[in-house]
Amino acid sequence: MTLDKPYVSGHFTPVTDEVTGRDLKVRGTLPPELNGRYFRNGHNPKPGITPTHWFRGEGMIHGVRLTDGRAEWYRNRWVRTPFLDGVPFTGTELDVSAAATNIIFHGGRYLALQEANLPWEVGADLDTIGVYDFGGKLTSAMTAHPKEDPQTGELHFFSYSPFPPHLTHYVADASGDIVRSQVVDGAGPSLMHDFAITREHVVFIDSPVVFDHAEHSGIPYRWHDDVPLRIGVMPRAGGRTSWFEVADQAALLHVAGAHTDTRGRIVLEAPRFDRSAWESSWKWWVGAPGYGTSPDAGSTLHRWTVDPATGKVTTEPLNDLVTEFPSINDARTGSAHRYSYAIAFPGAGLSGYHTVKFDSLTGKEKLLAHGEGRMPGEAVFAPAAGGTAEDDGYLLTIVSDFKADASELLVLDAGDLSTVAAVELPRRVPAGIHGHWIPDSELPA
């Protein structure tokens, strides 16, 4: 393998095999209520393969099973799709997927997701089961960032395409059956990676990063100065989508959360890329000359407030730290949240990688430095037993220690970011993308 691209070197250096480790060493004390599985997906190209873009590496899921205060096992497995066997992705075969972006649990199924393709189902031990199309009801791709309503159990997701129809919205009920789908009018051929829901609305993001044949990295999208950022607002029950243009051009990859305030305005929080931050980050993602030292070259947390009554959108910077991979307590999905968590990348006065907690009420942040040569992943929230406050819980993140050639699963107190426990993993885990905590209480009887 040619390790001359940033996404297959350093913290992102792929592992070459699948292993299983049992009865893992734990420093500190694992909270007894953490009974379940932490699964994290990411790109891990096979030996001998260097993809043309970070997002095109084959998918590998890393899992840790916690039970009764023990770390029972760790295992890593490639998602065994045709893409892993060398079948090229052409955009027409929906089952040819890297399946490398996210993994969720819904309707009794673990689904590995990549937004240009159908989901791939894996088992509780990460063995691949096969492509999944919701019983034939899903005939297009599925976003890697679906939103599960914590009150109804509904799963909202979408399919986007460079070709009409550009955007389709889906709803699956708590058992995993698709009960509604609708083409969303007015959407453009943009790279729509994430979206949001509120209690009343579905919120779409149409960015200036649009389909472009001239982009040859394997991900055919580029920034266009003549395309504005637009926010689409659709009623949760379906119907017409209203599109609101944002005066300040920007792109969004991941959403922290959204809600509808008491005045009927839609409030959205997310890291914001301006053109410079996007194009500099893209250089890292494709390994172009002049790429920086980390995957994120400047996105910062912002808030957008959409007023349907006036048609105006206001943009407000919330912090100047370079952050991405935001998360919240999933129980707040669709409702107002006070706290969000993210990876803070080097820059804006920081050296090294940090886990950061934002307080949207006070505007303050709390930082946890991970030390030289150590990179954390996305912080996944797990609720504490009997918790009442929004941040009563734990953050789970795999930290890659490249110098020590080792990794550990950290369990942090979501209140003050102190370390509750650290599970020593039997190998270095490459830096990855997204994951979820799946408690045993969510599993079918």
Which amino acids are annotated as binding site, given as ranges? 145, 193, 254, 434
Query: What is the rounded end-to-end Cα distance, in angstroms, of the chain?
Result: 45
Question: Annotated binding site for Fe cation, which residues?
Answer: 145, 193, 254, 434
Dihedral sign (CA 337, 338, 339, 344)? positive
